[in-house]
A and B are shown apart, each in its own frame.
Chain A
Amino acid sequence: MPHAGVWVAGLLTLVIFSFLYRDNPVYRTIEHVYVGISAGYYIAVMWHNVLVPNLLMPLLQDGHWVLVVPAALSLLLFTRFLPRGGWLARWPIAIYVGVYAAINLQQYVQGDILPQAQATIVPLKTFGNVVIVAGTLTTLSYFFFSREHRGALGVSARIGIWFLMISFGAAFGTTVMSRMSLVIARAYFVIHEWLGPALAAMR
């Protein structure tokens, strides 16, 4: 017989699927349970996985006093809840934004622009390579909005749209694939992990 957790998971699955028939109070309640549990989950995980090992323990046990700075900055984030002084939360946000700007500046140039451009410089010996080069350039030209799409740029941008349509079609196909996998997993759970074993145990 499946354990209590499987029964809870199974019943919750059925309640959520009941929304497909129509919205109902039980579904609504469960939906709000989900929101509450998720938010509560995050708070506890941040506490145990980051704030305690990366801040409190090194600060209080090992005496890394420099960590007073991020501790103070973290507390400033919570000034947003105060009627006055909410502007103090801008300080930690500013540091956060500055650090990510610096990281992005490096990672996009070094990790995307240069290697992707390099990978597009290929010998035009095969039809596939011609497609890759032409498609990349025309797609980029479609997103070039500094000039009106007329003349050569207009022709290029219009060709770019066709490449985008193929890519969006592929993306739609793969999105359907993803979503269907989710249903398959839930159906598999209900049949093979919950009801199947439960019925077998009853016999």
Chain B
Amino acid sequence: MNERVRRWIEAVSLLDRRFIFVAIAVAVVAPLLVPIGLPLRTSREAQALYDRVESLPERAVVVLGFDYDPSSMPELAPMTRAILDHLFRKNLRVIALTNYAQTGPIAERQLVEIAARFGRRPGVDFVNLGYKAGNETVILAVANDFRSAYPVDHRGIPTDSLPVMAGVHTWKDASLLIDIAHGATTDQYVRIAGARFGLPVGAGCTAVSIPRYYSYLQSGQLVGLLGGLQGAAEYERFIRKPGFASAGMDAQSMAHLAILILVAAGNAAFFLSRRR
């Protein structure tokens, strides 16, 4: 028995990392090929964001921050699509902008594709203002007028000539800002557009940022929050359109289980070797 334990400890401590990689790959791929269908629960903070959008009157202005790049698209693009679906279905005016240089074209594709489902037109029902460098300075410039930071939109059309921008000049003319972000831009919007100019701010964040934003939720500085792929799956459920996020949740569950099993095995070997 002792010999078997010794060999097991040795095997665990010498395990090639590529076996671990294969274990993770299997945990991810298998549920994508053969879905398990684990039931999804929804959270209060995701429900709060959905309810806030639901409560807006037709043609109200929602600013949507596309503040992510390809490194976090898997988590944030699905929730953006679900939120856009909701915004366009409700016939809200959408002003999209980004603080990430790579996201102008990503935003354009998503906006055009989802707007088309509801017959919403560029320049009339939505605008992609695209990218500007400067983060906080851009937020402050918009406090003066959207037009001073964004003289033209992503397509090069003068912002002032767009019907969707009629009567929309500063943060005060918007009803809600939803920042889908993988970095600190949500914090900046909360601190400047929210605290200084009184605009309600909701957020979609990568799972990494979830712990941080609970603090802003409790203080009321965020009106709602979607966290990671789970948050995206929750919103897909609210709008009754399951997409990639919903399909990925089984894989997410199995990958977490695989990691916990690996950590448990590592700890078991650690305690057994210490006892010996």
Verify A187–B211 contact, CB threshold 8 A: no
Verify B28–A103 contact, CB threshold 8 A: no
Cβ < 8 Å to A, chain B residues 12-28: 18, 21, 24-25, 28
Q: Mark B1-39, 1 if CB is under 8 A from A, else 0.
A: 000000000000000001001001100110011000000
Verify A49–B130 contact, CB threshold 8 A: yes
Verify A46–B101 contact, CB threshold 8 A: yes
Binds B, one of A24-32, A81-89, A141-149, A167-175: A167-175
B195 interface hit (Cβ, 8 Å): yes
Number of A-B residue pairs at CB separation under 8 A: 149
For B, the interface residue count at a CB cutoff of 8 angstroms equals 60
B108 interface hit (Cβ, 8 Å): no
Which residue in B136, B191, B218 is a CB contact (below 8 Å) of A132?
Answer: B218
CB distance from B233 to the nearest CB of A (A): 10
Verify B196–A111 contact, CB threshold 8 A: yes
Verify B251–A187 contact, CB threshold 8 A: yes
A58 interface hit (Cβ, 8 Å): yes
A200 interface hit (Cβ, 8 Å): no
Q: Mark B187-229, 1 if CB is under 8 A from A, else 0.
A: 1101110111000000000111111000100111100000111
Verify B195–A185 contact, CB threshold 8 A: no
Give Cα distance in the complex from A175 to B192, angstroms.
27
Q: Residues of A contacting B230 with CB < 8 Å?
A: 177
Give Cα distance in the complex from A56 to B227, angstroms.
40
Contacts A111-B190, A174-B228 given; indicate if A188 touches B101 (C-beta within 8 A).
no
Verify B195–A180 contact, CB threshold 8 A: no
Verify B207–A175 contact, CB threshold 8 A: yes
For the side of the interface on A, what is the size category? 35 or more
Q: Residues of A contacting B130 with CB < 8 Å?
A: 49
Q: Residues of A contacting B219 with CB < 8 Å?
A: 115-116, 118-119
Give Cα distance in the complex from A46 to B211, angstroms.
33
Verify B24–A185 contact, CB threshold 8 A: no
A42 interface hit (Cβ, 8 Å): yes
A106 interface hit (Cβ, 8 Å): yes
Binds A, one of B69-77, B116-124, B265-273: B69-77
Verify B133–A184 contact, CB threshold 8 A: no
Verify B28–A184 contact, CB threshold 8 A: yes
Give Cα distance in the complex from A20 to B152, angstroms.
44
Q: Mark B233-262, 1 if CB is under 8 A from A, else 0.
A: 000000000001001100110011001000
Q: Residues of B contacting A182 with CB < 8 Å?
A: 71-72, 74-75
B102 interface hit (Cβ, 8 Å): yes
B151 interface hit (Cβ, 8 Å): yes
Verify B247–A180 contact, CB threshold 8 A: no
B42 interface hit (Cβ, 8 Å): no
Give Cα distance in the complex from A13 to B209, angstroms.
26
Which residue in A58, A119, A177, A183 is a CB contact (below 8 Å) of B207?
Answer: A177
Give Cα distance in the complex from A151 to B204, angstroms.
43
Q: Residues of A contacting B140 with CB < 8 Å?
A: 103
B131 interface hit (Cβ, 8 Å): yes
Give Cα distance in the complex from A47 to B32, angstroms.
42
Apart from A54-B149, A171-B208, A180-B255, list 10 A-B contacts with CB within 8 A: A41-B101, A100-B136, A103-B140, A111-B187, A167-B211, A175-B208, A178-B75, A178-B206, A181-B229, A184-B248
Binding site for A on B (CB under 8 A): 18, 21, 24-25, 28-29, 32-33, 71-75, 101-102, 104, 130-133, 136-137, 140, 149-152, 154, 156, 187-188, 190-192, 194-196, 206-211, 215, 218-221, 227-230, 244, 247-248, 251-252, 255-256, 259
Supply 17 A–B pairs (Cβ within 8 Å), ascending by A: A21-B18, A45-B131, A49-B131, A53-B152, A58-B151, A103-B140, A107-B192, A111-B187, A132-B218, A175-B207, A177-B208, A178-B72, A180-B252, A181-B75, A182-B72, A187-B29, A188-B247
